[in-house]
Structure 1
Amino acid sequence: MGILYQRTRSGHWLAFASTAVISGCAGVVLGLSIGRQQAPVAPVPATQLAAADASTSSDATQPGRSLQGAAPAATAVPDGTLAASSGAAPTSESGWRALQAMNPDELIRRVQRDGRFAAAMLAQMMQNGSDPELREFLAVTLAQARPALLERSAESLLRSPDLKARREAFELLSSLPDPPKAVAAAARQAVLTEGSPEVVAQALAALRDAGGLDPLHADEAVLQQLRQYVGSTDPQLRRESVTTLVLADRSSSVEPILRQAVSDTDPSVQIAAIGATVDAGIRSAEAKAQLLELSFNPQADPQVRAEAMSALQSFRLTTDEAARLAPLQQQQLAATR
Structure 2
Amino acid sequence: MKLLNLLKYIINSASYGVILAVVLLLLIPELREGNRSWWNIFAPSKQNEQPLSYARAVQQASSAVVNIYSEKIQSTFNYNKGQRTTELGSGVIMSTNGYLLTNYHVVQDADLIGVVLQNGDRYPAELIGYDVYTDLAVLKVAATNLPTIPQDENLTTYVGDVVLAIGNPFNLGQTVTQGIISGTGRSGLSSTSYQEFIQMDAAINEGNSGGALVNSNGVLVGINSRKYINPQISIQGIFFAVPYKLAHKVMHKIIENGRVIRGWLGVSTNSRFSSDKGFLIGGIEPNSPAQKAGLQANDLIYQIDGIEIHSISQALDIVAETKPNTTLIFKVYRGKLPLEIPVVIEEKR
Larger Rg over CA atoms:
2
User: TM-score scaled by structure 2?
Assistant: 0.25
Which has more helix, going by share of residues? 1
Which has more strand, going by share of residues? 2
User: TM-score scaled by structure 1?
Assistant: 0.26
